[in-house]
Structure 1
Amino acid sequence: MLKTKTNDDKVDTLLTKGLVPIIDLAHCGTEETPVRSVVNRVGLQLQKCLNEKGLCLLVNHGISDEKLKTAWDHLDDFVDLPSDVREHYIRTGDDNHGYVRPGVERFNGKTPELRHAFNICTLNAKNLPEEPLPGFAEHISSLAQDFKALSRFILQALAVSLDIPQSFFLEKHSHMLSGDHDNESTLRLLYYPPIIEDTDEKNDFIKGSCIYSYQRCLSDKPDFRPETNPRDEINELDGKDELNGTTERQLPNGEMIRCGAHTDYGTFTLLAQDSEGGLEVKLPGSEKWQRVGHLPGAILINCGEILSIWTRERYPALPHRVVIPEQQHIRSRGRHSIAFFCHPDNLTMISPNDLPNNEIGTDTVDKKPRKKSFKAAKEKVYNAYQLIQKRFRETYGHHQTSH
């Protein structure tokens, strides 16, 4: 049914203000033989976008909306599986591959995150839910290869942007999707449940035809609702059962969170979204959170900590979070996204002294105070695996080895 647009539907975003750079990847060629002129053009555009904003949007990237939508459908089907089946694919220990329940991750170090996630680090079919979901492995593997190919193009353009050999980053990312024992690059399927509010019950969460809340559960499962009121304090999930995963958490100040503030760990991240869903960033040099906005069909790229270390923060890692949107028409629908986290091979040593000609152009860049994490990385050189494992321990805490 058509709905008349009102002022409540308007969302003030960086995109609506024209503050998000857009790069057109049309005619970029193939992964094996990219068009050199396009690589050079994109490299120059990335240099400006990532230095000034820390992010940009990619259009005409070659990954179809239909392919993304089918992947989200597969994730929905996985979330609907019986809990004992989903448990078979749970993320465990130091391995990043597998399913992550709502409430397990804490990107800000303390608050349970409000989403379903399935991490794909290897395309080995035995590690994907192909038996309960025929077609899952084939489709997700094909999509992962698409993101890998796009990442390889971006890696070449990044090298051009830094005036270093075009193959420099490719050689350090040669094992993407070979498994997290070789490389931590990850395709991550994400689903954030919607929020349904009415006059009788607040903070109800819906998936399909079943509504869950702390006050009622239309389910034949045991009642795992907390004894204390979740509106008064944060109640952590124990990981045993989460009412089919569609629970949310409210913070003491009345706010709820889907993904806490953090910077990504790797080289860069590619993000596809199905709607405007509350993604906010702090642009370089700013302490203000700003909504990014949604451009249908576009893929967002933002810098990670490793690229920031390599470039001496010329390309800063962008702080970002996902909040519960204040607009009712947005918060009352679920949000899907797919992120591809591009990481170097595990044994790659990460040092700001690695990049040849690293200081080229730095006199034109505004000098900003260096973060403690950057100083620490400069003092001691880690390999890529050590860096990400340190961040995993911070994110998962006691849940890291509890499953």
Structure 2
Amino acid sequence: MAQTFSGSAVPTIDLSVFATESPQQIPHEERLKVGQSLVETLHRFGFIKIIGHGFPKRDITEALAWTKRLFDLPLEEKMKAPHPPGPMPHRGYSSIGKEKVYSQSDVENHKKSGNVGQSLRNVSDFKESYEIGHEQDPVQQNIWLPEDVLPGYRAYMTALYDRLLGVSKTILEAIAIGLSLNADEYTECMKLISDRSCQLRLLHYPEVTKNKLETELLARLPAHNDWGTMTLLFQDDNGGLELKDPHSGVFISAKPEEGALVLNVGDMLQRFTNDYFVSALHQVAVPDPDAVPESGIPPRYSIPFFAVCEFSHTIATLDRFITPENPQKYDPVRFDEYGAKISQYQYQEKDK
């Protein structure tokens, strides 16, 4: 196991003892030790970098290359798989500025405006995205480009979803072992990831000129929490992701590390553990124009995978996390009802 933390960097852990093809050959004590280290770090920060996760560097490079290939297409080609108006289904291509990411504190701050959705959009998000789910998702069906627009894209992304689903389950198993959950608790924990309800997202943040930064108000990805169980993120060498240390209040740069993914806790894992794990606030910030070179900000590509439970699943806090010193903070909640409330301003009809 390798784990590092400098105080100003995101800590890193090696989970190769869980990603091995022959886990039965790894002593339980060794897996327990690594799982406990993962749990302790997520408890402290809500985020971590992971290596040895079973998705090798060459495959990360290939996935990012497909992502770039997609966004290099002309707009009229990408618009052959348009994201529908409104937040559901959350599938297909969203052009620059269509989606608005926000935190719940942002919503509270804009309530006096009378039109929260419009007020949140006073500063647009300068990014484009493509959302993909499981082919058998009963709630949200995929919206694919025609095969001749980008041959092989659908097949590759369908396989990528399955692989990242496997990585997510491996990480959740490591968390469950690190928490020393009993059999019933383990079963409930593993329900926090559904085979058919997760989401694969491809993101492109176009380059931004220094002049645009100096003359326009724009955002890349405002500070927010993810409302699923946890999020895996692969990013290119330009980086840009920042995560807030819940203790210092300082945003820490998740600088690219070869072969590493960034994992952050989401709202459902926070509720499941009664704040033992806290959902990580994170962003892709726009730098101060004075600190930007004349060449501006380079483009950025990233691939988050949102590991979530079934939409109809009700998340309840495990009894072990409820004590007289730490009473229950959350009532049980259906995931789809929670998500509908959290994402209600993400897309609007006027954005068609």
Contact residue 269 and residue 279 of structure 2 kept, 8 A: yes
Contact 1:270 1:300 in 2 (8 A): yes
Aligned partners of 2:311, 2:5: CA distance in 1, in Å?
35
Q: How does 1:304-315 map to 2 (within 5 A)?
A: 304-315=266-277
Distance in 2, matches of 1:99 and 1:32, equals 39
Q: Tell me whether 1:25 sits opposite 2:19 in the alignment.
A: no
Q: Find 1:80's aligned residue among 72, 89, 113.
A: 72
Aligned counterpart for 2:224 among listed residues 247, 252, 262: 262
In the alignment of these two chains, the number of paired residues is: 316
Residue correspondence of structure 1 range 57-96 to structure 2 within 5 A: 57-92=49-84, 93=86, 94-96=88-90
Q: Take 1:330 and 1:144, find their aligned partners in 2: how far apart are those partners?
A: 35
Residue in structure 1 matched with residue 297 of structure 2 by the alignment: 332
| Counterpart-to-counterpart distance in 2, 1:135 and 1:15 | 40
**Percent of aligned positions that are identical:** 25
Does structure 1 residue 323 correspond to structure 2 residue 285? yes
Q: How do 1:137-152 and structure 2 match up within 5 A? A: 137-152=154-169
| Alignment-derived partner of residue 347 in structure 1 | 312
SS at match of 2:343: helix
The equivalent of 2:47 in structure 1 is 55
After TM superposition, the structure 1 = structure 2 runs for residues 236-315 of structure 1, keeping only pairs within 5 Å, are 250-251=216-217, 256-315=218-277
Work out whether residues 277 and 331 of structure 1, in 8 Å CA contact, stay in contact via their aligned partners in 2: no
Contact residue 15 and residue 294 of structure 1 kept, 8 A:
no
Q: Secondary structure at the match of 1:286?
A: coil
SS of the residue corresponding to residue 152 of structure 1 reads helix
Higher deviation after alignment, 30-39 or 331-340: 30-39
- Cα distance in 1 between the residues matched to 2:61 and 2:156: 11
Q: Check if 1:394 corresponds to 2:320.
A: no
Aligned residue for 1:28, secondary structure, equals helix
CA pair 24-331 structure 1, distance change in 2 beyond 3 A: farther
Q: Which runs of 5+ in 2 are unaligned?
A: 103-119
Once the two structures are TM-superposed, the CA of residue 18 in structure 1 deviates from its matched residue by 5.7
**Structure 1: distance between partners of 2:253 and 2:296:** 14
Unpaired runs of 5+ in structure 1? 1-13, 205-229, 232-249
Cα offsets for 1:151-197 (capped at 9, x unmatched): 11111122223332333322342x33x2xxxx2x1111111111234
Structure with bigger gyration radius: 1
Provide the rounded CA distance (Å) in 2 between the counterparts of 1:60 and 1:334.
27
CA contact (8 A) 1:67 1:143 kept: no
Equivalent residue number for residue 187 of structure 1: 200
Structure 2 residue identity aligned to 1:22 = T
Amino acid at match of 1:160: I
The structure 2 residue matched to 1:171, chosen from 186, 191, 195, is 191
Give the structure-1-normalised TM-score: 0.70
Q: Which amino acid aligns with 1:98?
A: G
Distance in 2 of aligned mates of 1:24 and 1:140: 26
Distance 2:151 2:159 in 1: 14
Report the CA distance between 1:82 and its aligned residue: 3.7
Letter in 2 for 1:62: G
Which shows bigger deviation, 159-168 or 90-99?
159-168
Residue 257 of structure 1 deviates from its aligned partner by: 2.1
Distance 2:269 2:252 in 1: 23
C-alpha contact 2:91 2:142 (8 A) present in aligned 1 = no
The residue type paired with residue 333 of structure 2 is: Y
* Aligned match of 1:103: 97
Residues 54 and 315 in structure 1, CA contact (< 8 A), matched pair in contact too: yes
Other-structure match for 2:212 = 203
Q: Which amino acid aligns with 2:64?
A: W
Match of 1:121 in 2: 133
- Partner residue in 2 for 1:240: none
Cα deviation, residue 301, structure 1: 0.5
* Separation (CA, whole Å) in 1 of partners of 2:31 and 2:168: 12
Residue-by-residue CA offset, 1:53-96 (whole Å, 9 max, x unaligned) = 11111012221233223223323332233433322312224111
Instruction: Please identify which structure carries the higher helix content.
Output: 2
Flag the 1:102–1:402 CA change in 2: closer, same or farther, 3 A.
Answer: closer
Q: Provide the C-alpha distance between the structure 2 equivalents of 1:89 and 1:37, rounded to a whole number of angstroms.
A: 49
Quote the offset at 1:119 in angstroms: 1.0
CA positional deviation for 1:141: 2.0
Measure the CA separation in 1 of the matches of 2:151 and 2:132: 17
Whole-Å separation in 1 of the counterparts to 2:220 and 2:236: 16
Superposed CA RMSD in Å reads 3.1
Conserved in 2, the CA contact under 8 Å of 1:97 and 1:122? Answer: no
- Which residue in the other structure is 1:226 paired with? none
Cα distance change on mapping 1:159 and 1:386 into 2, 3 Å: same
| SS of corresponding position for 2:191 | helix
